[in-house]
C-alpha cells in the first residue's frame, strides 16, 4: 500500500476517505481537516481565549498539541480524579506536554480537596463514580474558565464518542438530550463558557494515529470506571457497521449537524429545555436548584466555594 500523496509506503489506510497515507502526509491531512472544521463551524473566533480540557489520553493531548500548532494558543485544565495508578500517570504525561508547549495547566485535585478519590467521593454523595465525575468536571472546568478569563472550553470528544452518544439517545429516544450534542454549545454571558469540539468529525483511530506519529506520549489505559459502559458497546456496534460500510459514522454525524441546522424555529422551541436556568445562591454558577450540587457537595465535607486549584507552567 502506497501513500496517495508521495508514493512512499503508507502507514495508515483511511477507508472512509478511500485513501492511504504515510506519517507526514497523514499528519498534514489530519491537521488540515481539524483546521477546516474549526473554520467551517466557527469554533474559535478572533479574540477568543480558549483552554483545552485534558485527561492524559490520546484525544485531549493530540488536540492540545494540534491547537497550539495551528497558532491557536491554549492552556489546559486537568481534573485529577485521585485514581491510584491512573491519575498520577495521566498528570505526568500532561505536565510533559505542557512543558513542550510552554503552556500553563490548571489542576483540580479531587483526592486532596475531598480527602478521597472519585470512588470514595461518589459513595459519600450516593452517586455512581461517572455521575460524580461528570458533575465535578462540568462545574470545575466552567469555573476555571470563568475565574481565569478563558471564554471557550475546547474538548477532545471525537467522532466515535459523539456517534455512540447520539446512537444511545436515539435508541432510547431520550428527546431531552437528542439535540444537545452539537459541535459547539453556546455560552451564557458571565455564567457559562462556550464549549467546542474540534475532533467531532475525527475518529478515535485517527486521533491515536496522530498522537503516535507526532510523538505525543499519552496514557494508553482507559479510566477503570469506563469498564462495562454502554457507550463501549455502542462503539463496538458502530465499528461493525463501519467495517461493512466505511464512512457510516462520519455520515451519521454530518447528517446530524445538518438536521440540527435545518430545524425550524417551532421545532427548536418545542425541543428546547423549558425549565428556567437559575443560579446557585452560593457561587452564582448555573443550577436547576437553589444551591448547585457542587456547592452542596463541598458543604457536606465542610469546605467552602473559594476552591483552590494547582497551577503548573
Footprint on this chain of ligand SF4 (rule: CB under 6 A): 118, 129-130, 133-134, 223, 225-226
What are the grid coordinates assigned to 167, written together?
A: 446512537
Q: How far is the CB of 78 from ligand SF4 (least distance, A)?
A: 11
Beta carbons of 199 and 158 less than 8 angstroms apart: yes
E strands along the chain, which residues? 12-14, 19-21, 50-53, 75-80, 105-109, 152-154, 184-185, 194-196, 278-279, 286-287, 310-312
The C-alpha atoms of residue 278 and residue 144 are separated, in whole angstroms, by: 20
Please choose which of ligand SF4, Zn ion, none residue 59 contacts, taking the beta carbon within 5 to 8 angstroms, the exact cut-off set by kind: none
Please choose which of ligand SF4, Zn ion, none residue 118 contacts, taking the beta carbon within 5 to 8 angstroms, the exact cut-off set by kind: ligand SF4
Instruction: Output 37 or 158, the one with its CB closest to ligand SF4.
Output: 158
Under rule CB under 5 A, residue 292 binds Zn ion? yes
Instruction: Output 105 or 135, the one with its CB closest to ligand SF4.
Output: 135
Under rule CB under 5 A, residue 282 binds Zn ion? yes
Ranges within 254-273 binding Zn ion (CB under 5 A): none
First to last CA, the chain: 43
The C-alpha atoms of residue 16 and residue 249 are separated, in whole angstroms, by: 9
Please choose which of ligand SF4, Zn ion, none residue 134 contacts, taking the beta carbon within 5 to 8 angstroms, the exact cut-off set by kind: ligand SF4
Please choose which of ligand SF4, Zn ion, none residue 6 contacts, taking the beta carbon within 5 to 8 angstroms, the exact cut-off set by kind: Zn ion
Cross-strand partners of 80? 109
Under rule CB under 5 A, residue 22 binds Zn ion? yes
Q: Please name which of 115, 113, 85 lies closest in space to residue 224, comparing C-alpha atoms.
A: 85
Please choose which of ligand SF4, Zn ion, none residue 22 contacts, taking the beta carbon within 5 to 8 angstroms, the exact cut-off set by kind: Zn ion
The C-alpha atoms of residue 123 and residue 125 are separated, in whole angstroms, by: 5
Instruction: Output 266 or 306, the one with its CB closest to Zn ion.
Output: 306
Site string for Zn ion, 47-86 (x = CB under 5 A): ----------------------------------------
Instruction: Output 226 or 233, the one with its CB closest to ligand SF4.
Output: 226
Identify the H or E element spanning 93: helix 87-101
Under rule CB under 5 A, residue 20 binds Zn ion? no
Instruction: Output 6 or 171, the one with its CB closest to Zn ion.
Output: 6
Q: Please name which of 254, 213, 215, 197 lies closest in space to residue 28, comparing C-alpha atoms.
A: 213
Instruction: Output 38 or 280, the one with its CB closest to Zn ion.
Output: 280
Under rule CB under 5 A, residue 19 binds Zn ion? no
Question: Kind of pairing, strands 75-80 and 50-53?
Answer: parallel
Q: How many CB atoms are closer than 10 A to CB 62?
A: 28
Q: 9 by DSSP, 3-state: which?
A: strand
| Binding residues for Zn ion (CB under 5 A) | 3, 5-6, 22, 25, 280, 282-283, 292, 295
Amino acid at each position: 500500500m502506497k501513500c496517495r500523496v508521495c508514493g512512499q509506503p503508507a502507514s495508515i489506510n483511511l477507508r472512509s476517505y478511500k485513501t492511504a497515507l504515510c506519517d507526514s502526509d497523514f499528519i498534514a491531512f489530519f491537521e488540515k481537516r481539524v483546521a477546516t472544521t474549526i473554520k467551517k463551524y466557527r469554533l474559535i473566533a478572533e479574540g477568543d481565549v480558549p483552554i483545552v480540557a485534558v485527561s492524559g489520553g490520546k484525544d485531549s493531548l493530540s488536540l492540545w498539541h494540534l491547537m497550539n500548532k495551528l497558532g491557536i494558543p491554549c492552556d489546559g485544565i486537568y481534573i485529577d480524579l485521585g485514581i491510584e495508578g491512573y491519575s498520577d500517570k495521566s498528570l505526568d504525561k500532561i505536565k510533559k506536554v505542557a512543558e513542550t508547549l510552554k503552556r500553563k495547566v490548571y489542576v483540580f485535585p479531587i483526592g486532596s480537596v475531598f480527602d478521597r478519590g472519585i470512588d470514595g467521593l461518589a459513595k459519600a454523595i450516593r452517586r455512581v463514580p461517572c455521575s460524580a465525575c461528570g458533575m465535578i468536571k462540568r462545574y470545575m472546568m466552567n469555573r476555571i474558565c470563568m475565574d481565569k478569563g478563558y471564554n471557550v472550553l475546547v474538548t477532545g470528544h471525537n467522532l466515535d464518542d459523539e456517534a455512540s452518544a447520539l446512537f444511545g439517545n436515539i435508541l432510547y429516544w431520550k428527546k431531552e438530550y437528542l439535540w444537545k450534542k452539537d459541535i459547539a454549545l453556546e455560552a451564557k454571558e458571565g455564567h457559562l463558557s462556550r464549549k467546542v469540539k474540534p475532533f467531532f468529525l475525527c475518529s478515535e483511530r485517527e486521533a491515536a494515529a496522530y498522537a503516535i506519529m507526532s510523538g505525543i506520549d499519552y496514557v494508553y489505559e482507559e479510566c477503570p470506571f469506563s469498564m462495562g459502559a454502554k457507550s463501549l458497546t455502542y462503539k463496538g456496534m458502530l465499528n461493525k457497521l463501519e467495517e461493512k460500510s466505511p464512512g457510516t459514522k462520519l455520515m451519521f454525524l454530518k447528517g446530524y449537524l445538518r438536521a440540527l441546522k435545518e430545524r425550524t424555529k417551532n421545532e427548536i422551541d418545542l425541543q428546547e429545555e423549558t425549565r428556567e436556568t437559575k443560579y446557585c445562591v452560593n457561587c452564582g454558577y448555573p443550577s436547576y436548584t437553589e444551591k448547585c450540587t457542587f456547592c452542596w457537595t463541598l458543604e457536606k465535607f465542610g469546605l467552602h466555594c473559594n476552591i483552590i486549584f494547582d497551577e503548573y507552567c
